[in-house]
Amino acid sequence: MPFIPHTPDDVADMLGVIGVASIDDLFDEIPEDLKATGLGRVPAALSEMEIGRLMSERAAADGRALNFIGAGAYEHHIPAPVWAIATRGEFYSAYTPYQAEASQGTLQVIYEYQSMMCALTGMEVSNASLYDGASALAEAALTAVRANRASSSRRILVPRTVNPTYLRVAEAIAGNQGVRFESVDFDRKSGRTLLESLRPYEGSDITALVVQQPNFFGVLEEVDELNDWAHANGALVIAVVNPTALAVLKPPGSWGAPGAARAGADVVCGEGQPLGVPLSSGGPYFGFMTTRMQFVRQMPGRIVGRTLDAAGRPGFTLTLQAREQHIRRGKANSNICTNQGLTVTAATIYLSLLGATGLARVAEASAARTAALVRALTELPGVRPAFSGHRFHEAVLILDRPVAPLLAALAERGIFGGLDLSASHPELGCALLVCATETKTDADIARYAFALAELISTPYVEPGAAALNSQTGA
């Protein structure tokens, strides 16, 4: 536990050097009537053991529900060393590393992070300063507008298989800068975006096509087809990806059919939370973005580079900073004022500990857990899978009754059962998005299935149907 190391003698020596008699003298400019005279409502001090027990009791009172919600925020196991290292003082209190000679440790961590993200996505350059996955999509759209000089339309095609929260945020940020987001429908059978849905746009001026892999439904898109269609029609490809899935899926930098004229996505973005960042009341998150080297000057934020000093020794520095603080306002790409340094540090440590093999094991275990969850739930009457397409670690289920009351009842049993899709995708009917990761056991899945079976054991009757039946004599 952190503590103040200065003894009374240390304090007296420092005050002597400063030339004051007491610490209070350092604050003598504050009027007496503004100073606190006591902490009357603060309870008596507790010992370390007592405070530890109090906090444990309060944490237990909060409870910990069994979580089967995904939709962009995922509960993965985080090895203990991740935050033990990330919360060391060297990282925990460090801010923007403007002063390279005093920030070599932080700069190296960011450089290693950028290298790992490039390796995961198959791209050439990464930045290190985005708030979250949703705003990263907005910044990716703006990057595409700047990068695609052959297009003047500022039109971005967004399939309805893209996370709807990401789209709302992108519209709020980039929509107010003249970017138009146009919706593309999906196939009701497979849950994928089909080329047929893009045919009406052929020959049009399209700036970029967004492709989410896996998509919001957890289904794997035919990314090679979509990538090649976009490039054939003069559009850039913005990939929105789950970094955990990239351990087992083709990286966006390699999307496209073999021998295609232009292989790979052009801008890749996503949410980094799955990489060692806990779910904690809606945050913290961090977004990531990678791209081709030819578009490096169109990226927002900052980029750390490796260099040599005057003596030939390796070192790290801020290589590219495309903000108005560093260059002319008219040339700035975006005013991103934080690099989410602590969560990026945690992700770097997480990836270093797991390595490529460990991350692949997490991805494979998560996919297997979701498959087991879908099998268990679809054995229940009135529950069926929505889509036939291949999936990662999320799935959409169709129920024979409204989802919201079931989720409320499951929550009372200590189970967060998933996400109700009735608001975002009403055409699916009573649709439930569920997710499982490597943290879920057979017992967890059985508990969910048992609770849901109890709740749907009674046949569902539409509200008002009983009264109608009594009136008609049915």
**Amino acid (one-letter) located at 324:** E
CA–CA gap between residue 45 and residue 48 (Å, rounded):
10
Range of the domain at 434: 66-74+355-455
CB 121 within 8 A of CB 268: yes
- pLDDT of amino acid 1: 44
Output the pLDDT for position 312: 93
Decide if 371 is inside a domain. Answer: yes
Contact 390, 220 (CB under 8 A): yes
> Are residues 244 and 377 both part of a single domain?
no
In 126-277, where does DSSP find H-type helix? 133-147, 164-173, 223-232
> Is 364 a domain residue?
yes
Q: Which two tokens stand for residue 423?
A: 């608001």
Residue 37 lies in a domain: no
User: If you write DSSP's letter for every residue of 167-190 in order, what string do you get?
Assistant: HHHHHHHTGGGT-EEEEE---TTT
Same domain, 333 and 414: no
Cα separation, 77 vs 278, whole angstroms: 9
Q: Could you count the other beta carbons within 10 Å of the beta carbon of residue 443?
A: 9
Domain end among 333, 350, 367: 350
Structure confidence at residue 334 (pLDDT): 73
Q: What is the reported pTM? A: 0.86
Q: E strand or H helix at 473, and its extent?
A: none
Is residue 87 included in any domain, yes or no? yes
Three-state DSSP class for 434?
A: strand
Task: Give the strand pairing for 383-385 and 314-321.
Answer: unpaired
Task: For residues 363 and 252, state if they share a domain.
Answer: no
**Count of domains forming the chain:** 2
Question: Residues 411, 441: one domain?
Answer: yes
CA distance readout (Å), 114 to 69, 254, 438: 29, 18, 26
Look at residue 64 in the predicted model and tell me its pLDDT.
Answer: 83
Whether 45 maps to a domain, the answer reads no
Per-residue pLDDT 10s for the chain (474 aa) are: 455 778 999 999 999 999 999 998 999 899 988 888 888 888 888 898 999 899 989 888 877 899 999 999 999 999 999 999 999 888 887 667 777 778 888 899 999 999 999 999 999 999 987 899 999 999 999 999 999 999 999 999 999 999 999 999 999 999 989 999 999 999 999 999 999 999 999 999 999 999 999 999 999 999 999 999 999 999 999 999 999 999 999 999 999 988 777 789 999 999 999 999 999 877 789 999 999 999 998 988 888 999 998 899 999 988 887 555 566 666 777 766 666 889 999 999 999 999 999 999 999 999 999 999 999 999 999 999 999 989 999 999 999 999 999 999 999 999 999 999 999 999 999 999 999 999 999 999 999 999 999 999 988 877 765 545 555 555
